[in-house]
Structure formats: structure tokens, C-alpha cells
Amino acid sequence: MIKFNKVTKIYYPNMAVLQDISFEIKKGEFVSIVGKSGAGKTTLTRLILGLDKPSFGDVYFKDKNIQEISSSEMQEIRRSIGCIYQDYKLLPAKTVYENVSYIMEVEGKSYDEIKREVPKILDLVGLKDKMDNFPGELSGGERQRLAVARALVNHPKIVIADEPTGNLDPYNTYEVIYLLEKINKTGTTVILLTHNRDIVNKLAKRVVTLVAGKIIRDEEKGNFII
Amino acid sequence: MFSNSSRIIKFAFQDFSRNKGISIAAIFVLTVTILLVTGLFFLQGITNYLTSQIQDKIDITAYFKDGAQEQDILNVRDEILKMSPNIKNIEYISKDQALEIFNTKHQSDAVISRALQEVGGNPFLPSLNITTNGDTSQYASIANILQTADFSKLIDKVDYSQKKDTIEKVYSITSNISLFGIIIGIILIIVAILVVFNTIKLAIENSAEEISTMQVVGASDWFIRGPFIIQGIIYGVVAFIICFIISGLCALLLSPKIELIMPGFNIFSYFLNNWWIFILIQLGFGVGVGALSAFIVVKKHLKV
């Protein structure tokens, strides 16, 4: 589904964030990409979303080279991916409800469907009572849960979770991971970028380990070892 | 498509009402700049009135020989009208009318009245008084026509050569005023556009993070750009309404005072006679610059 072929990313003037990365993520997989801060995890996400271009090599999404597709195709790819970021990337001028409904509106979903689905997903992440609040009025954990709701509302084919538990307490951390596992079981591909050892070890799924921009380990049922 | 458009409009009004501080600041700047542009249009009206007043005072007069028949003079008038399309006014003044005008003008001046009695009879000549729509060259060309053989036998003198310098000076001053007005106008309009552009830029820069999030979730360029452009249009429309009311009220209230300084020029009538131009300028400037600025600024953020 997603393939990195000898990808190197160099930021100006000569900082190589990723070096000669090659790996493939298949449909329905749950992959944890682990590494210390600055190992290049977020850059991988940006390359998948077409927010950055590789300096060398190619990134493929469903056999299409991301560098060669039109902007409308790229927008379609982005719509098929649900992203959860550590810094949330919420829309501050929109309410909790509107942050989630915006994603459905982008997809062109009907108002009826939006009215039906948004409260459901907000209920799932425990934010139904805060539908009319703005992100600025939420705690860190609530914002993270809102980011999760937003990523999942469109039933995406892929979920990329970049440090999704960074701001959560242990209880909410396992709630989010449980949610990711659950949607993975329905066939959604999940890419989890984290440096949380406990989560990765407990998941016992595929682990890709990044150190200084290089893949040093790629194990089917791996552990967090750096 | 319809649902997308309605959502874009909804987002625009939502952002407009939620970001009150930014909206008020943008409308305020747009209002001030539209008023500046409107002021320039008022100024153009005043300048045009003043220059036409000055130009109306310029004329040339052809004095006919004492025995010239009225019918011959009127024939000359018709011929001149046929040959010179730029004539604004051509007036025949008979001997008797000339005397009457003179007497009316100097009725309180006993010395002049006595001098006229000394001369005896009517010393004035019949004349044609000519004003044109155009510049100095048109006066020269009329003077040349009057000096052709057909007319010169009837004409005693044409006062063009005495007035030539004055005519040229007045036209040079009025055309310089117009040119100066155009240059200042262009500079001020450019400044106004830049001020509005920068205000809209600041308002949108505030949402830069939001725009990048919208891109990440796969919103199309128009879905992102649309609400900002419509907000620019809303700023423009609100600023236009404020400016139209302010300029109408100012014209109404200042009209008597301006008429004292410039008799015959009613600034409120000027506003009413040109209301559609005012709407076009204010709405066009407000909406056009507001929307275009938003389009350019958001485009910069949509490069990824």
C-alpha cells in the first residue's frame, strides 16, 4: 500500500534526516515506527502525505509515485488517510463538533450523515459533552482525543498516528491504543510513530526502528530496542 | 458542487463573525482607503468645475465692420459652426446690445457715462463671441478661419492675438492641475491598495497554521481559499455601505459651505448625479481589492 524506495531526505543545507530508506507497508498492517526524537519519524509522515518531497528515491501510495501525481490526486490520498498529531493540528476557530464535521464536509458528505456520525465518534472519545467548546478550552488530553476522533470519523483506509499518546495519562493512552487496534482489526492500516517503549512492546506487532534516519531493524513481531 | 459552495459561504460568515477583532480592523482600513479614493473622485469633480469655470471665461471675439449687415454676420456664424465642431458657444452681439451691456456694466460710473456722451452715438461694433470645448489650438484655428478672404472683408478685427498669451497660460495651468491630480491620484490609489493588501495579509497570516491543517486533511484548494475570498468580499461590501453613507452625508452637510466658496457647484448634486460611479468606485475598490488580496495571500500558503 505504501512503499519507500531508497528514500533520502536532506534539509537545507546538508542535514540528512532520512538516508536510503526502503520498506513497504501492506494493506491492513499495524506498523510501529520507533526511534528517538529527530530520528526522522515525522519526516516519513510528511513524505507519505506529500507535504515534503524526497531528495532522492521514491514514495509510492498504491503503486502511484507520490511525486508524479496531480494535486487533486494528492488531496484524494490525504482524504483517505486519518492523521493524529502530537501537536493536534486542530482548527482553533472551529468548535469540537466543527473540527470533526469539517473532515466530513471536505469529503462532501451530506449534512444528515454528518449530524449522525459526528456525535457518535465524539461519544466514542468521550467528548460528546464538549461539542460546542473550542479547542482552546480543552485540556491536552481532550485535544488529543479530538484529534483521534477527527482522524477516524471518515473511516480512513490508513491511520497515521504521530505520537498520539504524548499528552495522555496512562488510562487514556491505552484507550487510544485500544481504539487503534480495534480499527486495525476492521482492515484499516495503522502506522504508529512513537517512542513509547511500553506501548510498542505490549502491541507485539511489526516494528520498524529508525536511528539517525536509517532503518536499523524491521521485525514482524518486534520490540522497542534502541 | 452546490453543497460545497454553501459550505464555503457558511465558513466565511462563521470566520467573519468569530474573528471580530480582525474583521473590524480589516473593515476599518478598507473604509478609510475607500474614503480616500472617494475623496479623490470628489476632488476631481471640484477640479473639473474650477477648470471649466476658468475656461468659460476665455473667449475670442470677432468685431465686424460698422456697416456689416446682421444677416451677413449670422451667415458667418453659421459657417463657423459648420467648419469648427468644437465650438461650445457662439453668440451674436449687435451694436445696440453691446451699448446696452456697456451701459448696464458702467451705470454707476458717471465719468464713463459722460465720456460715452462726449463720443456721441453708438461707438460699438457688432460682434461674434466664441468659446470652444477644446484647447488653445482650437482658438487659433477659429482665428485663422475668421481671417480667410471670405470673412475678412466683413471683419474689422479679431482679438485672438491680444488674448493668445492669456489663453495659453490658462490652458497650461489647467492641464497641469489635471496632470498633477492624475499623478497624485495614482500614487494614493497604489498606497491604498498596498495598505488593504497588507491588512488582509495580516488577517490571513493569522490563519496560516489552520490553512496547513486544512491541506493535511485533504481539503481542495478552493475549499480552503473560498472562505477567505468571501470574507474579503464581505469586508469590501460592509466598508462600501459605510463609505457610501459617510460620503453621501458629508456631501449633504458640506454642500452649503462649499457653495459659498464655489458658487454654482453643489457637491451633493454632484454626488446624486454620479451615484452609480460612486457605487462602482467604492464597491469595486472594496470588493475587488479585498477579494484579490485574499486570493493572492492564500495562494502563497497553498504551495504544498
Identify all chain A residues contacting B3, using CB atoms and an 8 Å cutoff: 108, 110-111
Position A99 in a domain: yes
The secondary structure element, H or E, covering residue A156 is: none
Residue with cell 484524494: A76
Residue B304 at interface with chain A, using a CB cutoff of 8 Å: yes
Say how far apart CA A129 and CA B283 lie, in whole Å. 44
* A47, A76: one domain: yes
CB–CB contact B3 A78 (8 Å): no
Please check whether residues B138 and B256 belong to one and the same domain: no
Do B228 and B22 touch, CB atoms closer than 8 A?
A: no
**Which distant-in-sequence residues (6+ apart) come within 8 Å of A183 by Cβ?**
A152, A159, A190
Predicted confidence (pLDDT) at residue B303 exceeds the cutoff of 80: no
**Statement to judge: residues A76 and A97 lie in one domain:** no
Higher pLDDT, B257 or A167: B257
Last-in-domain residue among B126, B153, B180: B153
A91 vs B: CB within 8 A: yes
* Domain around B6: 2-54+172-301
Q: Are both A130 and A98 inside the same structural domain?
A: yes
Residue that terminates a domain, selected from B88, B118, B153: B153
pLDDT at position B66 = 83
Q: Are residues A117 and A182 in the same domain?
A: no
Within a domain: residue B193?
yes
Does one domain contain both A70 and A123?
A: no
pLDDT tens-digit profile of B178-208? 888 889 889 989 998 999 899 889 888 888 8
CB atoms within 10 A of CB B76: 22
Q: How far is CA B238 from the centre of its chain?
A: 25
Average pLDDT over every residue of B153-159: 83
- Same domain flag for B19 and B78: no
What's the pLDDT band for B149 if we cut at 50, 70, 90?
Answer: low
For residues B240 and B72, the model is more confident at B240
Same domain, A113 and A187: no
Q: Is the pLDDT of residue A167 over 90?
A: no
Among residues A225, A210, A218, the alpha carbon closest in space to that of A45 is found at: A210
Report how many domains make up chain B: 2
Task: Considering only residues B303 and A83, tell me which one the structure prediction assigns the higher pLDDT.
Answer: A83
Tell whether the model's pLDDT for residue B1 goes beyond 70. Answer: no
Q: Using a CB–CB cutoff of 8 Å, tell me whether B18 touches chain A.
A: yes
Model pLDDT for residues A42-59, shown as the tens digit of each residue: 899 999 999 899 999 999
Do A148 and A162 share a domain, yes or no?
Answer: no
Q: Over 70: is that where the pLDDT of A82 sits?
A: yes
What average pLDDT is seen over chain A? 90
Any B CB within 8 A of A49 CB: yes
Do B291 and B215 have their domain in common? yes
Number of H helices, E strands in chain B: 12, 4
State the residue range of the domain holding A183: 1-80+156-226
pLDDT at B134: 62
Its pTM surpasses 0.80: no
Spatial contact of B211 and B303, defined as CB atoms under 8 Å apart:
no
At B121, phi and psi to the nearest 5? Answer: 65, -155
Residue B260 has pLDDT above 70, yes or no: yes
Percentage above 70 pLDDT, chain A: 100
Q: Is B9 on the interface with A (CB under 8 A)?
A: no
The answer to whether the Cβ–Cβ distance between B216 and A150 falls below 8 Å is no
Q: What is the pLDDT of residues B219-258, one digit of tens each?
A: 999 999 999 999 999 999 999 999 999 999 999 999 999 8
Return mean pLDDT, chain B. 86
pLDDT for res A188: 93
Q: Are residues A149 and A187 in the same domain?
A: no
The predicted model gives B52-58 an average pLDDT of 78
Please report, for the domain that includes residue A202, its CATH number. 3.40.50.300
Searching chain A, which residue's CA lies closest to the CA of residue B208?
A91
Looking at beta carbons, which residues of chain A come within 8 Å of B226? none
- B70 touches A: beta carbon within 8 Å: no
Starting at the edge strand that comes first in sequence, how are the strands of the sheet with B155-158 ordered? B87-93, B127-132, B60-64, B155-158
